[in-house]
Amino acid sequence: MSKEVYRKRMVRKPIPIRKLVPNMITSGSILCGVMSLVLAFHGHLVLAAWLTLMAAFFDLMDGKVARSLGGDSAFGVEFDSLADVVSFGIAPGMVFYISYLYAFGGVLGALTTAFFVLCGALRLARFNVVHSSGRFQGLPIPAGGLFLMSFIASGTVLHPLMAMAIAIITGGLMISSIPYGNFKHVSKDNINIIRLLFLIGCFVTISAVFKEKITLVCASVYVLSGPLGIDWGKWLALRDEEEVADNQ
C-alpha cells in the first residue's frame, strides 16, 4: 500500500454539527446523573433529586434537536440509552436507596435497588430492539426514575417496606407489556388546544393545592395512566399516529 493511499484512508471526515449538538445535549443528561450521585453521597438528597428532573429536560431536548436538525444516528440512539441508564436508572436507584433503604433495608434494600436498575436496563434494551411508532411498551425508564425521585423532591416520608414495594412495582412496570402514552406525535400542528388549556388549568390548580408535592402528583398520574388505559399522547393529539404517518 502506497503512503498516499494510506493517508487518504486515515483522513477522517469532520463530524457534522447537526449530529454533534444532540450528543452534546445527551452529555448534559449524563452530567446531571453523575452530579446527582455525588450530591447524594454528600447528603444533599433533595438537590440530587432535582438534578434528575433536569436530566429529563436534556433527555427531552436531545431527541427534539436531533429531529429538527436531521441529526439522527445509530450512535446517538446508543449514547442516549447509556445516558438513560445512568440518569434514570443508577442515579434514582441509589438516591432512593440512600433516602429510604440504607438504614433499614439491609440486603433486601440493596437487592431492590439492583432490581430497579436491572429492569430499567432491560427496558432500554427492548426499546432499542423493538421499534414502535405507537405507544410505549412498558413504563419508560425516564418516567420510572422521575417517579422514584419525585418522592424525595417532595419531601415524602416512606417506610422502608413501602419504599421497597414502590421500587419493585416501578421496575415491574418498566419490563411489563402495559402500553403507555407517547407524546412524539403531539406538536403545534397536531394538538387539541382546548384539551391542552384544560390540562394546564388542572396543573395550576393541583400546584396550588399540593404545592411542593406537584412533581409526585404528576409522576404518579403518568405511572397510573398505563394500567388505567389512558393514552395522554392520543388524548392531546388532534390525529392519532396512524393518520400522521399516512399524511407524511
**CA torsion, points 115, 91, 87, 79, in degrees to nearest 10?**
-70
Separation between Cα atoms, residue 166 and residue 23, nearest integer Å: 32
pLDDT score for 162: 95
State how far the Cα of 176 lies from the Cα of 135, in Å rounded to an integer: 13
**What CATH number belongs to 16-181?**
1.20.120.1760
pLDDT at 132 (0 to 100)? 63
**Predicted TM-score (pTM) above 0.75:** yes
- Residue 59 to residue 223: CA distance in whole angstroms: 18
Domain ranges of the chain: 16-181
Instruction: Give the pLDDT confidence score for residue 182 in this predicted structure.
Output: 81
Inter-CA distances, 241 with 81, 109, 124, 187, 200, Å? 24, 41, 22, 12, 23
Residue 107: Cβ within 10 Å count: 7
Task: Please name the residues in contact with 102: beta carbons below 8 A apart, sequence gap of 6 or more.
Answer: 109
Per-residue pLDDT of the chain (248 residues; tens, 9 = 90+): 555 555 555 445 555 666 677 788 889 999 999 999 999 999 999 999 999 989 999 988 877 777 777 667 777 788 888 999 999 999 999 999 999 998 876 789 999 999 999 999 999 998 888 766 677 889 999 999 999 999 999 999 999 999 999 999 999 999 999 999 887 767 677 787 888 888 889 888 888 888 888 899 999 999 999 999 888 878 887 765 544 444 44
pLDDT of residue 12: 57
- The residues with which 83 forms a beta bridge, in sequence order, are none
In three-state secondary structure terms, 137 is strand
